[in-house]
Amino acid sequence: MKIFKTSSMRVRLLIGLMVASLGFWGAWFAVQAMLMSSQQNNRWDASMQAVGQQILMSMPALHPGGSSEPAFQLPSQVHVQPQLLSFQVWTRDGRSVLRSSNSPLEPWAPLSFDQPEAFHGVEVKGVEWRVYTINDASGRLQVQVGKSQPQLLSLIKLWLGYSIGTILLLMALLAGVTWTIICWSVAPVQAARQAIEERGPLDLTPLEVHDLPTEVKPLVEAFNAQLLRLETALQGERRFLADAAHELRTPLAALMAQAQLVKSASTLEESHASLAPLISGIERTARLTEQLLDLARLDAIEHPGGRPPVPLHEIVSLVVRDYDGTAQAASQRLQLRAEPCHARVDVDTVGVLMRNLIDNALRYAGAGARVEVVCREQEMHGQRHVVLSVRDDGPGVPEQEHGRIFDRFYRVPGTPGRGSGIGLSLVSRIASLHDAALETGTGLDGRGFGVTLRFGAAANDATSAAQPGVAAAGAKAGPFPAVVPPAQPS
């Protein structure tokens, strides 16, 4: 629930603190008002008792012999301020001897000389009074002291007015002090914001954090970490663009030269002879462009962890089938060992991964080589994994080069044939996208080169267990061929 609609943290803090302070002060004020009302009543009772006793002690003695006349004459009224106590003095025969100007003409309480003193709550002409009565020892004189309820309320209102005024003044002072403290506390955050606004578009240096509050420092540190990742990604993209421009410049220049040769050919035979290298160069350039586009598209693909499981063996089978003709043209044997297995993967990117692995193996294994593709489930450390590997028995890759073959545009020195050095880089990026373990090693029969990936296996109730193996030539294992037979020499 949104308590405050403002987006300013300073205003929210100020309003929150003021509301909390008002709440606590309001509760304190209510308690104090109740305590004051109770204490004021007790204080009034005590003051009325003291005044009544003092008035009684100050009265002159009456004449002996039962005369009701006092020894001397007193004023019939004594003027007092309205906010003070009111009092009356009565004789036993019901005659008023002395009273204050703000007291009624009749007694507040019925005259009774049976008890020495008492407190009464009475109502006179619609006004409530608190009355204290005290008799002298002879029972001939009674003093009544009263306090009206409006007088009590006026005192309470006066106290409330002073208290509320004091609270408002203190709240204003507290708001000013709080606002100053809040502005002082967030000043480093404002400085960081200003530093960001003054930066250039490509300035990704980390922000200073030593002056920031402890509560804000983790946020800025996380922001700095993101800036570093962004800087790394931006530098990588810059290198990629530079390398791509460099890699495309050479084949485009070669295509231009070959096209000039075709244009300058004087005979049909010379033209046909010049077309062959032109077509080959176009094919290489098209493949390089396709790989560059695949590499760029990977940045927009999300982690496939939340996707439903897909039959990985069917994807592998389709890709292997696409390379039948390529393997037969080079008298190579392309074999598939597979069992039904499911994993949470992106179908398109895994297809790109498989095409690059198989193309790389067929391209560099040499004529007559054997390339084996394996797709199966395996248990390691109590967890199920889908193992996908492509191995060959070609010349292989020196072990010291295994750590660099996944770099962009890197080609092992002395490698025959032409390549872009992007294929295995795509494989590494796709494996990282799927959190798959990527390993390199020897190929078949202790020679050649092999790449193995391990994906997390996903359970599928519709999948039945199947034993891995190599089917006979031309046999079918599920929806994919188990073995692609070698091409017949021409």
CATH number at residue 251: 1.10.287
Lowest mean pLDDT of 30-44, 107-121, 154-168, 294-308, name the range: 294-308
Distance CA 183, CA 202 (A): 30
Question: Is residue 241 a contact partner of residue 234, using CB atoms and an 8 Å limit?
Answer: no
Q: Are residues 15 and 157 in the same domain?
A: yes
Distance CA 456, CA 385 (A): 5
Residue 51: inside a domain = yes
Residue 169 structure tokens:
């003044």
For residue 485, report the phi and psi dihedrals to the nearest 5 degrees.
-65, 150
Question: Is residue 70 a contact partner of residue 62, using CB atoms and an 8 Å limit?
Answer: yes
Calculate what percentage of the chain has a pLDDT beyond 90: 9
Distance CA 30, CA 37 (A): 11
Residue 203: inside a domain = no
Q: Which residues contact 63 (CB under 8 A, 6 or more apart)?
A: 69, 70, 71
- Among the candidates 169, 198, 227, a domain finishes at 198
Calculate what percentage of the chain has a pLDDT beyond 70: 77
- What mean pLDDT is predicted for residues 455-479? 44
Q: Which domain holds residue 367?
A: 305-461+468-484
**pLDDT score, position 224:** 86
* CATH code of the domain covering residue 331: 3.30.565.10
pLDDT tens for residues 58-102?
A: 777 544 444 444 433 344 444 444 446 788 888 888 888 888 877
**pLDDT score, position 421:** 66
Distance CA 307, CA 301 (A): 12
How many structural domains comprise the chain? Answer: 3
**pLDDT score, position 138:** 80
Helix, strand, coil percentages (3-state) for the chain, rounded to 5, are 50, 20, 35
Helix (H, G, I), strand (E, B) or coil at 245: helix
Residue 255: inside a domain = yes
